[in-house]
Structure 1
Amino acid sequence: MPTRDLTQSLDTDATVYPGDPEVESSPAATHESDGYRVTELRLGTHSGTHIDAPSHTEPDGKNLDAFDIESFAFDARVVDCSESGAREPIGVDAVPDYESKESRANGERNENSEIEMLVFRTGWDAHWGTDRYLDHPYLTADAAAACADRGWHVGLDALSPDPSPSETGVESASESNEGEPAGVPAHRELLGSDRFVVENLTGLGDLPERFELRAYPLALAAADGSPVRAVATW
Structure 2
Amino acid sequence: MPLVDLSHPMTPGMPVYPGDPTVAFAPAATLADDGANVSALRFGSHTGTHLDAPSHMIAGGRTVDQLNLAALQGTAYVLHTRSNETAALRDQPLGLSDLAPIPAQLPNIVCIATGWDRYFHEPVYEHHPYLELELVEALWDKGARVLGVDMFSPDPTHSTLSAPVHEFWLGQDGIIVENLTGLQQLPERVEMTILPLPLAGLDGSPVRAIASYP
Q: TM-score, normalised by structure 2?
A: 0.90
Aligned-residue offset at 1:183: 1.6
Corresponding residue for residue 129 of structure 2: 137
The 1-side partners of 2:128 and 2:118 are apart by 11
Match of 2:90 among 67, 86, 105: 86
Counterpart of 1:228 in structure 2: which amino acid?
V
Partner of 2:152: 159
Q: Is the 8 A contact 2:6 2:183 kept in 1?
A: yes
Structure 1 residues 33-112: aligned runs within 5 Å: 33-81=33-81, 83=85, 85-93=89-97, 94=99, 96-99=101-104
Displacement of 1:213:
1.5
Output one character per residue of 1:4-55: Cα deviation in whole Å (capped at 9) or x when no partner. Answer: 1111011113211111101111110112221211110011110010011011
Letter in 2 for 1:124: W
Residue 114 of structure 1 and its aligned partner are, at CA, apart by 5.0
User: RMSD over aligned Cα, in angstroms?
Assistant: 1.7
Structure 2: which 5+ runs fail to align?
Answer: none
Question: For 1:70 and 1:149, how far apart are their aligned partners in 2?
Answer: 20
Provide the residue aligned with 2:115 in structure 1. Answer: 123
- SS class of match (1:205): helix
Contact 1:124 1:133 (C-alpha < 8 Å) held by counterparts: yes
**What CA deviation, in whole Å up to 9, does each residue of 1:162-209 have, x standing for no partner?**
0113xxxxxxxxxxxxxx671211111111111111111111232121
Question: What is the percent sequence identity of the aligned residues?
Answer: 41
4+ residue stretches of structure 1 with deviation over 6 A? none
State the number of aligned residues.
207
1:215 aligns with 2:207: no
Equivalent residue of 1:4, what SS?
strand
Cα distance in 2 between the residues matched to 1:85 and 1:114: 25
Normalised to the residue count of structure 1, the TM-score between the two structures is 0.83
**Amino acid aligned to 1:209:** E
Which residue identity lines up with residue 183 of structure 1 in the other structure? S
Is the Cα–Cα contact under 8 Å of residues 45 and 226 in structure 1 kept in the other structure?
A: yes
Distance 1:126 1:98 in 2: 27
Structure with higher Rg: it is: 1
1:185 to 154, 164, 186: 164
- 2:175 is matched with which residue? 196
Q: Which has the higher mean CA deviation after the structures are superposed, 68-77 or 123-132?
A: 68-77
SS in 1 for 2:33: helix
Task: Tell me by how many angstroms 1:137 deviates.
Answer: 0.5
Pairing 1:25–2:17 present: no
Measured in 2, the distance between the counterparts of 1:62 and 1:141 equals: 22
Gaps of 5+ in 1: 100-112, 166-179
Matched AA of 1:123: G
